[in-house]
Chains A and B, each alone.
Chain A
């Protein structure tokens, strides 16, 4: 049962984790944290069900690999499960496993990214706030002086002076996994140009700033250009949660609150609502 050659070499696990992060993929790292033996054994299962390492028991590895899908579908970053929560009835009947063992599941995924089109007052505030919250942030504008480094001393904010919005966006969005895009340019021609490139890619979140009327004009043009209606409906337009934002900084907070709520599965409602209903 205990084939030590199959136990996870730390180097193999580290290489696999690095690969997941570099490829913008997602995986679960399962670690045996409470058991009679092999505490610390690890199994990494990626979203294509490729495995690295072992928890030292092939039945357990199979059960963990199956359970990984459930774990990744939940939005949990890390959670500890008892073995009996992971294994199905059939496996339990096999009986060789200690059912009081516990396994820590951790989500391995790249930092969330935010791409901001437009470095005006809102875009600039949003870039600074997003960095603070922990987003890898890219700020794009076609006016080089608006994305000059002097305006953004934080080197972690990536600045792009784009001669062509669409090319810059295509390159930056890539496969779109874990990517949010906020379109906050200075005018609706630029908004539309950005939105065409954004809709052709597949980011997780798309927000477009403007009044209902102004954003509707852009979305209708995209519809007329043949973009998928259902995906257009998912566009957050006007972007942001209703917090009564007035200043650019407040608007940035409203936008980022919506992005976080989308990623974490929040409702955007006050937590105190229950007192009043």
Chain B
């Protein structure tokens, strides 16, 4: 589940659309301090529970997953702020400690328009 090429990423979104499904696309929109992924990194969440790509390791992934699942259900796109405090980071043995803004965007199915 590493980073994925742009062409592949948009192909996966298009395929989900063809199946008539929603996709939640999490994108690292802004970072400050030491964070585990670069701006623009993306992770896709599909209705069947599958994922692709990454927005960066264990620090915040669980929270992003929860927000993305909620977004898939309610169909709302929004910008989310995540704090990576030094304490949390060191507890998890991660080398991050900063803030990340992640945009979770719901690509609605074709039927929803």
Chain A residues engaging chain B, CB cutoff 8 angstroms: 9-11, 14, 17-18, 21, 31, 33-34, 39-40, 76-80, 102, 104, 106-111, 134
**Cross-chain contact B5 with A111 (CB below 8 angstroms):** yes
Chain B residues engaging chain A, CB cutoff 8 angstroms: 3, 5-7, 10-11, 13-14, 17, 27-30, 38-40, 77-79, 101, 103, 105-108, 110, 113
**Cross-chain contact B7 with A14 (CB below 8 angstroms):** no
A-B contact count (CB 8 A): 65
Known: A78-B27, A78-B29, A106-B40. A10 touches B7 (CB 8 A): no
- Please give 15 more A-B residue pairs, beta carbons under 8 A apart, in addition to A77-B38, A78-B40: A11-B17, A18-B7, A21-B7, A21-B10, A31-B103, A31-B105, A39-B77, A39-B78, A40-B77, A40-B105, A78-B28, A78-B29, A80-B29, A106-B27, A106-B40
Q: Please pick, from A18, A34, A76, A110, the residue contacting B79 in the complex, using a CB distance under 8 A.
A: A34
SS of A interface (majority)? mixed
Q: Please pick, from A31, A107, A111, A134, the residue contacting B7 in the complex, using a CB distance under 8 A.
A: A111
Could you list 22 examples of A-B contacts with CB < 8 Å? A10-B17, A10-B110, A11-B17, A14-B13, A14-B14, A21-B10, A33-B103, A39-B77, A40-B105, A77-B38, A77-B39, A79-B39, A80-B30, A80-B39, A80-B101, A104-B27, A104-B103, A106-B40, A108-B6, A111-B6, A111-B7, A134-B5
CB contacts (< 8 Å) of A77 on chain B: these are: 38-40
> Measured between alpha carbons, how far is A161 from B42 in the docked complex, in Å?
37
Known: A18-B14, A77-B38. A110 touches B6 (CB 8 A): yes
Chain A nearest CB from B56 CB (Å) reads 14
The 9 closest A-B pairs by CB, nearest first: A78-B40, A40-B77, A78-B39, A77-B40, A33-B103, A80-B30, A33-B79, A80-B29, A14-B14
